[in-house]
Chains A and B, each alone.
Chain A
Amino acid sequence: MENLIGLLVAIPLLGAALLLCGGRRLDGKGHYIGTVLAAASFAIGAVLFADMLGRGEHDRALHSKVFSWIPVGGFRADVAFQLDQLSMTFVLLITGVGTLIHIYSIGYMEHDERRRRFFGYLNLFLAAMLLLVLADNYLLLYVGWEGVGLASYLLIGFWQHKPSAATAAKKAFIVNRVGDVGLSIAIMLMFTTFGTFTFAPVLTNADHASEGKLTAIGLMLLLAACGKSAQVPLQSWLGDAMEGPTPVSALIHAATMVTAGVYLITRSGAIFNAAPDAQAAVVAVGAVTLLFGAIVGCAKDDIKKALAGSTMSQIGYMILAAGLGPIGYVFAIMHLVTHGFFKAGLFLGAGSVMHAMNDEVDMRKYGGLRKYMPVTFITFGLGYLAIIGFPGLSGFWSKDKIIEAAFAKGGTEGWILGGAALLGAAITAYYMTRVMLLTFFGEKRWVPDEEGHEPHPHESPSSMTIPMIVLAVGSVFAGGLFSVNDAFLKWLEPVTGHSHGDSPLSAAAVTGGTMVVLLIGVALAWAQYGRRPVPRTAPRGSLLTRAARRDLLQDDFNHVALVKPGQYLTRGLVYVDHKLVDGVVNGTAASVGGLSGRLRKLQNGYARTYAVSMFGGTAVLIAATLLMRAV
């Protein structure tokens, strides 16, 4: 069984190599190869899952060492895998959703002449993401971490002929680098503290290290998580990342890669448990981001950007839960999985709509689409109900638990966090209802595209609708299934640990409160977009609306706080380099050259001059020797 783990990573990696190096010969069948290999990976994941269920809950983890990677003295890094319940959850999510999105992309990318390359990148992403969650040490995790960053960069910029896509890819890469530096520093700190970066020894010895060091490690890990999971203050890249093809947004920028930060924090739970300050920072980041993303989501007219704001916000929930410690780890991961279903479904639905509307993304130019695209409407609608937490659907179970856990934190902190989570739920209901109403209800507000073609909305082909249907089924039932007998809690508890905390409110009260704010949110959206006609061009809006449309001024802030000082710094350095360094260097060079030219004249070609030089040299030699003796 252990050997299968390596295969899990190797198969999509092979696919990537095949598709990217295979050349034009594979153009006709590249997408099938990619899809089959992704499905094969999923099948292996399923076999391993069945095998894992067959074992007792405390010996479910599997280890597999492939080879010694860097053995240098005391420094050891192995390519070794660890498959426990946490990794297993991710493996199924990644390969499952990944396979569905491969299938969807067959239809979605049908007319793209670089489709083979697209599938190569997708397979590369799968391999890197699986490596990330299967690594048994932080260094190998870092390899996967960088790998998904690369795949994300390549896929955001897939339509590189569009300057906006190229810029967005670069932006995502650079912002992610900031987070990556955090991860690398965290790994170095770990090595100096524990002498290793293998999970097991680091995490079991976490209690013995000083709290200061653990806090430092924790904060650096948080920085890494902020970069990859688009959390404040490194959130700015996610909105722009929507320039990538929609299946990419669904897989990488909604369901899997952006949740890597949640994985990292949950995996490093022992470190955060022993470093309360770092944990407080995690919670703060989560709470701020869940509101930040939700507010941005309210103001966007671009359907994908609205969903991106929502993703940011939902990951904020997960980070918040992970920051709560053992009260929240399980629910963070549970929300991660359910979110993977409904958010991927929503993105695929959005892609289906765009496909039908000549790639129009402005929701103000949609309207009334429910009659034209019934399957998309129903699957998207189920995703919508799931994300706002409609009772019984997936999101209800997972989000409710997080809100409960936030209150259970206790004290003032608990009230603040719980309040923020509740407020977030209200805003979620508002902006998702808005998306729903603008897209599928109301009268038609369609406009012809630049070439004058009227849109003729139609249902998408079955290669696209089937994945949407499967994901919708997951959106409806996954949460409930997980909650029967606390199945998910029992499954994950041996890895992450769990405590119930001490909630000041009863579970029923929290659920009730959530229902109330949900209704308020939906009602507000209905009042604004359902009852009145929607203008094709956005009204000016309040100050907050305008700020939210500009992503709450994130880019302006970055420009003023980082880009400008950076430019001044580099200009200063260039000045110093030109004037001072070059001056010294050129001056030295010139004086050496001048000296050389002068000394060269001594070499006049006459043997007599040379003899005099030798004679003088000998005289000096003798004199110096005698002088040395004299002193």
Chain B
Amino acid sequence: MTHAATVHSLWTTAAAAPDKIPSPDIEYGQLSPTLIVLGAAIVGVLIEAFLPRRQRYVAQLFVSVVALAAAFAAVIGLAAGDYGTSKARVAAMGAIAVDGPALFLQGTILLVALVAVFTFAERRLDPVVHGNRVDSFAAQAAAVPGGDAEKAAVKAGFTTTEVFPLVLFAVGGMLVFPSANDLLTLFVALEVFSLPLYILCALARRHRALSQEAAVKYFLLGAFSSAFLLFGIALLYGYAGTVAYSGIADVVDGQVRNVTPALAGTMGNDALLLIGGAMVLMGLLFKIGAVPFHMWTPDVYQGAPTPVTGFMAAATKVAAFGALLRLLYVVLPGLRWDWRPVMWGVAIVTMLGGAIVAVTQTDVKRLLAYSSIAHAGFILAGVIATTPEGISSVLFYLAAYSFVTLGAFAVVTLVRDAGGEATHLSKWAGLGRRSPLVAAVFAVFLLAFAGIPLTSGFAGKFAVFKAAADGGAGALVVIGVISSAVAAFFYIRVIVLMFFSEPRTDGPSVAVPSPLTSSAIAIGVAVTLVLGVAPQYFLDLASQAGVFVR
């Protein structure tokens, strides 16, 4: 057969219309966590549409909590049914992977979301408005800040109960993100969880202009990064002729020789692979908040309503790192020697950049934002290990870190003055004298961030650094430890400020929260201490879960 004939036959085969489209084979049971959450989100939309305003809050809270708990139970059920280990497989026609890392991260995201919903529902912190208890969200999101419509809405005691379905949609996207097994699903999941987050960021009840500015910035930059991601996906398709992870990996490994005729000119072209891979990587690094794609983080963390910041900081990071791990370990392992040095560079500037800039911050939320950047760098060190220990240490770190973050932001919501939350650090001076319990709890979270032994932060950091050192990234570990030392400075500085400074006379007061926020903080402290004192069980769990399916 001549070359031309080959091409011709391929053309005809491709062009021949199939006589029928096979119905897709969907494993509903294995996808149930995502389906439950998305279904509940739709129920939430219906509640907004049909229930009277007074009843929405309770109904939304109930639906959200039940859905998240049920989804978590479904994850546990799947894990108990060995879907994380021996029965791990690819579901939904190759679009979604159901394996150990996916289930572990989904479980983490669901728990984080559940706790976050508690802080979303908190209605005792803001002063009562005309007899109505209100939460941290705008009375009417569409009203112009300071305008008449807003005043009317505030007076009527409206609250934005839409946040609950929005959170559920975001959680649905986040559940898919780390388990997406092809690039298109990855992109769709990214947009599904990003869009609700953009809206949520704009919903702050106080400092609305700041909140809206944050949302617009987040949206613009997020769209910008999505463009890169999408372009990278196109290039990868051009390279491999498929968007499935396993398909791309096969081409990278050189196992596929039959060329799709339409792509005859591009398939197997390494330039496409490298450029496309770098662009997809960039899209994920943006969500992670790695330097130099981090600049949205401080502005958005500061502007967004604090419960949203806590949720975003914890859950987004978990989902995005899950997707990054899968991309690097499943799609690009054959390209290890190309991406590892680049990621080294990113990890180093992220660790040092986050830690150094945090030193001069004066706002608690911005401080925590830079701290999250530094932590992203630490986790990247574990990603770079490219060993099974690397995967499991990252999983453990994410679980540990997300609860610390959630707890810390929940504490931030408690410290208030007349203008709402008092986030300027100078106002936190002497907090330990006035509210020793709150200050002590915050100190526990700060110590965990700093990685002090007996907190989860130490166990996580130790696991990640050990994996990185064993994986041949010793120099990275040295830089990581130096950054940790720099970071310890500003964490400890806050503790010193809280406990060893004279309280200000115009200092903030600590609001007494409802059991919702209290239990969120209590869960945060408990997880922090349990993972710090007895991490072994969870480390074992993470290492059992640390195998990707292909």
Q: Which residues of A does B touch, CB under 8 Å?
A: 589, 592-593, 595-597, 599-600, 602-603, 605, 607, 609-611, 613-614, 616-618, 620-622, 624-626, 628-629
**CB-defined contacts of A603 to chain B, threshold 8 Å:** 295, 298-299, 357
* Nearest CB on A from B392, distance (A): 27
Once the chains bind, are A593 and B360 in contact (CB under 8 Å)? Answer: yes
Once the chains bind, are B341 and A624 in contact (CB under 8 Å)? Answer: yes
CA distance A239 to B452 in the complex (A): 48
Known A-B contacts: A603-B357, A614-B295, A622-B279. Give 4 more (CB < 8 A): A614-B228, A617-B291, A622-B278, A625-B342
Once the chains bind, are A610 and B360 in contact (CB under 8 Å)? Answer: no
Once the chains bind, are A605 and B299 in contact (CB under 8 Å)? Answer: yes
Which residue of A has the minimal Cβ distance to B277?
A: A625
Task: List the 9 closest A-B pairs by CB distance, nearest first.
Answer: A617-B292, A610-B295, A596-B359, A596-B360, A622-B278, A618-B282, A621-B278, A624-B342, A625-B278
| Known contacts A605-B299, A610-B295, A614-B292: A625-B359 contact under CB 8 Å | no
Q: List CB contacts (< 8 Å) of B469-501 with chain A.
A: 486, 489
Q: List CB contacts (< 8 Å) of B318-351 with chain A.
A: 337-339, 341-342, 345-346
* Nearest CB on A from B211, distance (A): 15
Chain A residues touching B, majority SS: helix
Once the chains bind, are B295 and A596 in contact (CB under 8 Å)? Answer: no
Once the chains bind, are A628 and B337 in contact (CB under 8 Å)? Answer: yes
| Known contacts A609-B295, A610-B295, A628-B337: A597-B360 contact under CB 8 Å | yes
**CB-defined contacts of B33 to chain A, threshold 8 Å:** none
Which residue of A has the minimal Cβ distance to B298?
A: A603
Contacts between chains A and B (CB distance < 8 A), count: 89
Residue among B221, B295, B339, B357 with most chain A CB within 10 A: B295
Q: List CB contacts (< 8 Å) of B220-263 with chain A.
A: 220-221, 224-225, 228
**CB-defined contacts of A602 to chain B, threshold 8 Å:** 295
CA distance A609 to B271 in the complex (A): 29
* Nearest CB on A from B56, distance (A): 34
Q: List 14 A-B contacts (CB under 8 A).
A: A600-B361, A603-B298, A607-B216, A607-B220, A609-B295, A611-B224, A613-B293, A614-B282, A614-B293, A622-B275, A624-B341, A625-B278, A626-B274, A628-B338
* Nearest CB on B from A625, distance (A): 5
Chain B window 342-372, contacts with chain A (Cβ cutoff 8 Å), 1 for yes, 0 for no: 1001100000010011111100000000000
**CB-defined contacts of B341 to chain A, threshold 8 Å:** 624, 628
Once the chains bind, are B282 and A617 in contact (CB under 8 Å)? Answer: yes
B158, CB-defined interface residue at 8 Å: no
Once the chains bind, are B274 and A625 in contact (CB under 8 Å)? Answer: yes
Which residue of A has the minimal Cβ distance to B275?
A: A622
**CB-defined contacts of B221 to chain A, threshold 8 Å:** 607, 610-611, 614
CA distance A610 to B342 in the complex (A): 21
**CB-defined contacts of A622 to chain B, threshold 8 Å:** 274-275, 278-279
Once the chains bind, are B274 and A629 in contact (CB under 8 Å)? Answer: yes
Once the chains bind, are B356 and A624 in contact (CB under 8 Å)? Answer: no
* Nearest CB on B from A605, distance (A): 7
| Known contacts A610-B295, A624-B342, A629-B270: A599-B353 contact under CB 8 Å | yes
* Nearest CB on B from A530, distance (A): 70
| Known contacts A605-B299, A610-B217, A625-B342: A595-B356 contact under CB 8 Å | yes
Once the chains bind, are B357 and A626 in contact (CB under 8 Å)? Answer: no
CA distance A572 to B220 in the complex (A): 60
Q: Which residues of B does A touch, CB under 8 Å?
A: 216-217, 220-221, 224-225, 228, 270-271, 274-275, 277-279, 281-282, 286, 291-293, 295-296, 298-299, 337-339, 341-342, 345-346, 353, 356-361, 486, 489
Among the listed A593, A607, A614, A618, which residue makes an inter-chain contact with B278, where contact means beta carbons less than 8 Å apart?
A618
Once the chains bind, are B345 and A589 in contact (CB under 8 Å)? Answer: no
**CB-defined contacts of A597 to chain B, threshold 8 Å:** 360
CA distance A624 to B291 in the complex (A): 15
Which residue of B has the minimal Cβ distance to A621?
A: B278
CA distance A609 to B220 in the complex (A): 12
| Known contacts A593-B360, A600-B360, A607-B220: A613-B274 contact under CB 8 Å | no
CA distance A66 to B345 in the complex (A): 60
**CB-defined contacts of B270 to chain A, threshold 8 Å:** 629
Which residue of A has the minimal Cβ distance to B358?
A: A596
Once the chains bind, are A621 and B360 in contact (CB under 8 Å)? Answer: no
CA distance A596 to B367 in the complex (A): 12
**CB-defined contacts of B342 to chain A, threshold 8 Å:** 621, 624-625, 628
CA distance A626 to B217 in the complex (A): 31
Among the listed A599, A605, A625, A629, which residue makes an inter-chain contact with B356, where contact means beta carbons less than 8 Å apart?
A599
Once the chains bind, are B224 and A614 in contact (CB under 8 Å)? Answer: yes
Once the chains bind, are B275 and A625 in contact (CB under 8 Å)? Answer: yes
| Known contacts A618-B278, A622-B275: A629-B217 contact under CB 8 Å | no
CA distance A599 to B355 in the complex (A): 11
* Nearest CB on A from B289, distance (A): 12
Which residue of B has the minimal Cβ distance to A631?
A: B341
Which residue of B has the minimal Cβ distance to A614?
A: B293
Once the chains bind, are B357 and A596 in contact (CB under 8 Å)? Answer: yes
CA distance A621 to B342 in the complex (A): 7
**CB-defined contacts of B298 to chain A, threshold 8 Å:** 603
Which residue of A has the minimal Cβ distance to B290?
A: A617
Which residue of A has the minimal Cβ distance to B281?
A: A621
**CB-defined contacts of A621 to chain B, threshold 8 Å:** 278, 281-282, 342, 346
**CB-defined contacts of B489 to chain A, threshold 8 Å:** 589, 592
* Nearest CB on B from A604, distance (A): 9
Once the chains bind, are B220 and A626 in contact (CB under 8 Å)? Answer: no
CA distance A610 to B225 in the complex (A): 11
**CB-defined contacts of A624 to chain B, threshold 8 Å:** 341-342, 345
* Nearest CB on B from A17, distance (A): 30
* Nearest CB on A from B153, distance (A): 28
**CB-defined contacts of B271 to chain A, threshold 8 Å:** 626
CA distance A616 to B353 in the complex (A): 16
* Nearest CB on A from B331, distance (A): 14
Once the chains bind, are A610 and B282 in contact (CB under 8 Å)? Answer: no
**CB-defined contacts of A592 to chain B, threshold 8 Å:** 356, 359, 486, 489
**CB-defined contacts of A620 to chain B, threshold 8 Å:** 292
**CB-defined contacts of A607 to chain B, threshold 8 Å:** 216-217, 220-221
**CB-defined contacts of B228 to chain A, threshold 8 Å:** 614, 618
Once the chains bind, are A610 and B296 in contact (CB under 8 Å)? Answer: yes
Residue among B228, B337, B339, B359 with most chain A CB within 10 A: B359
CA distance A283 to B313 in the complex (A): 73
CA distance A613 to B221 in the complex (A): 11
Residue among A599, A602, A620, A625 with most chain B CB within 10 A: A625
* Nearest CB on B from A630, distance (A): 10
| Known contacts A621-B281, A622-B279, A629-B338: A613-B360 contact under CB 8 Å | no
**CB-defined contacts of B357 to chain A, threshold 8 Å:** 596, 599-600, 603
Which residue of B has the minimal Cβ distance to A595?
A: B356
**CB-defined contacts of A626 to chain B, threshold 8 Å:** 271, 274-275
CA distance A614 to B281 in the complex (A): 12
